[in-house]
Amino acid sequence: KAGVTQTPRYLIKTRGQQVTLSCSPISGHRSVSWYQQTPGQGLQFLFEYFSETQRNKGNFPGRFSGRQFSNSRSEMNVSTLELGDSALYLCASSFDGVGNQPQHFGDGTRLSIL
């Protein structure tokens, strides 16, 4: 069974630009969550999608948005990029939600803002 796939692996952008990251979950998993990881803040929850609906949201500004498609693939978009958005963005999938199911993580997209 293929794991969680995130693309691209690395991305360099400049301030003010926007970026879209992609996540393909494990086949059969309907829940996809996104996390931001920085050295100082650890893993911070961005949002969770389940059956194409955003079910949970963390404390991030509206510049961070996402969506989920009918095949459970998910995209995350960040608009008007700031230097502080430089981070590793991780996607995780589970069968039916951010609950007692193990989260299966992708290798992440490392975003650098110049």
Partner 1 sequence: GQSLEQPSEVTAVEGAIVQINCTYQTSGFYGLSWYQQHDGGAPTFLSYNALDGLEETGRFSSFLSRSDSYGYLLLQELQMKDSASYFCVVGATNKLIFGTGTLLAVQP
Q: Compute the CA torsion angle 45, 30, 62, 15 (nearest 10 deg).
A: 80
CA distance 97 to 50: 7
Binding track, positions 15-44, relative to partner 1; x by CB under 8 A: ------------------x-x-----xxxx
Strands (E), 29-98: 31-38, 42-50, 53-57, 64-68, 74-78, 87-94
Q: Is 84 helix (H, G, I), strand (E, B) or coil?
A: helix
Q: Does 55 bind partner 1 (CB under 8 A)?
A: yes
Q: Which of 48, 66, 76, 78 binds partner 1 (CB under 8 A)?
A: 48
Q: Does 86 bind partner 1 (CB under 8 A)?
A: no
Please say which residue, 30 or 79, places its beta carbon nearer to partner 1.
Answer: 30
Q: Does 49 bind partner 1 (CB under 8 A)?
A: no
Q: Which of 5, 22, 56, 65 binds partner 1 (CB under 8 A)?
A: 56
Please say which residue, 9 or 63, places its beta carbon nearer to partner 1.
Answer: 9
Q: Interior CA angle at 85 toward 99 and 79, to 5°?
A: 90
Q: How many CA atoms lie within 13 A of 9 on its CB side?
A: 1
Q: Residues in the site for partner 1, rule: CB under 8 A?
A: 4, 33, 35, 41-45, 48, 55-56, 90, 92, 97-100, 102-108
